[in-house]
Structure 1
Amino acid sequence: MAKEITDLTTIDLFSDERRPGRPKTNPNPRSVQIKINKRNQVKRDRNNGLKRIEFKVHLSLFEQLEQLAKTQKMSRSELIESLLIESLAAQVK
């Protein structure tokens, strides 16, 4: 019997062949890769003089921030930083 690549009924003939696909480039599982990448991101941010701040806001405020960031064509993080800088500058005056 001839071996045909398109023959799916005799799939056992192809069990030793490698299927095409993306080659595995990292020996670590995905969960470990994510932890390593996050740790590297925190180090990069620290070297750039950035510090992480987390806080919770109401959904309505979040949506307003999101909309304002879109209209000003900047990220939400950049918008919040600029608002904080403006507020602190006004306090100093």
Structure 2
Amino acid sequence: MAKEITDLTTIDLFSDERRPGRPKTNPNSRSVQIKINKRNQVKRDKNKGLKRVEFKVHHSLFEQLEQLAETQQMSRSELIESLLIESLAAHIK
């Protein structure tokens, strides 16, 4: 009996063959890896003195922020932070 890779009825014939692909380099599942990476990111941010702030804005405002950040060659997060600093400085004076 010849072995055919596409033959699903004789899959047991291929159980000892190594399939091509990226080798597994981490014993954890992908979902566990994501949780660990997120936890490490939160720790790094905390050590840098950063706090997470989330809010929702209208799509048109989001697009304006994106365009302004691109023209000033900075990230959207950096732009929002600079705008908040300027606004707070103006109100404190």
TM-score by length of 2: 0.81
| Segments ≥4 residues shifted beyond 3 Å | 1-15
Aligned partners of 2:55 and 2:10: how far apart in 1?
59
Q: Secondary structure at the match of 1:60?
A: helix
CA offset digits 1:51-89 (Å, max 9, x no partner): 000001111111100110011111000000000011111
**Aligned-pair Cα RMSD in Å:** 2.8
Deviation at 1:12, TM superposition (A): 7.6
Aligned residues: 93
Q: 1:2 to 1:35 in 2, by over 3 A?
A: closer
Gaps spanning 5+ residues in structure 2: where?
none
Aligned partners of 1:42 and 1:11: how far apart in 2?
45
Aligned partners of 2:37 and 2:75: how far apart in 1?
21
CA offset digits 1:4-62 (Å, max 9, x no partner): 99999999876523133211111111111111111110000000010000001111111
Gaps spanning 5+ residues in structure 1: where?
none
TM-score by length of 1: 0.81
- Is the counterpart of residue 15 in structure 1 residue 23 in structure 2? no
Identical-residue share of aligned pairs (%): 90
